[in-house]
Amino acid sequence: MELDNNNHSVFSLYYHLVLVVKYRRNVLDDEISDYAKDMFVRISDGYNITLLEWNHDSNHVHVRFKAHPNTEMTKFINAYKSASSRLIKKDFPQVRKKLWKEMFWSRSFCLLTTGGSPIEGIKKYIESQGMK
């Protein structure tokens, strides 16, 4: 397992985010999902987040990503939801019809950590740094 690092730390922070369309409206298709995914990548750059995997169904998305320890997760998620909601409704009239005054995404979200570094990876790092 590869560990990420910055000036003062080594880390392995992986997340699984689930975002649901408001009222579980079935409005996500491949085109809207790709648009939302591209926006995620653009916004995530400023938050030290790297997209690893993106999947969608007609009313929700699953996003797997990694982040740095200094990432303000709630701030990023709210910024993404706000910007993507506004632009999806602007650029896709069929969505605007189904969610006229509403945000595109539900207010709630599910964010899970996914795994950790196995002890072998930690031992390997400690040995490589001469910290026995």
Q: Which residue has the tokens 């509403």?
A: 102
Span 93-130, pLDDT tens digits: 989 887 777 889 999 999 999 875 555 666 666 566 55
The answer, yes or no, to whether residue 45 has pLDDT greater than 60, is yes
What's 4-125's CATH class?
Answer: alpha beta
pTM for this structure?
0.84
The answer, yes or no, to whether residue 33 has pLDDT greater than 90, is yes
Instruction: Sketch the domain layout of the chain as residue ranges.
Output: 4-125
- Give strand pairing partners of 66: 14, 50
Residue 38: count of CB within 10 angstroms of its CB: 13
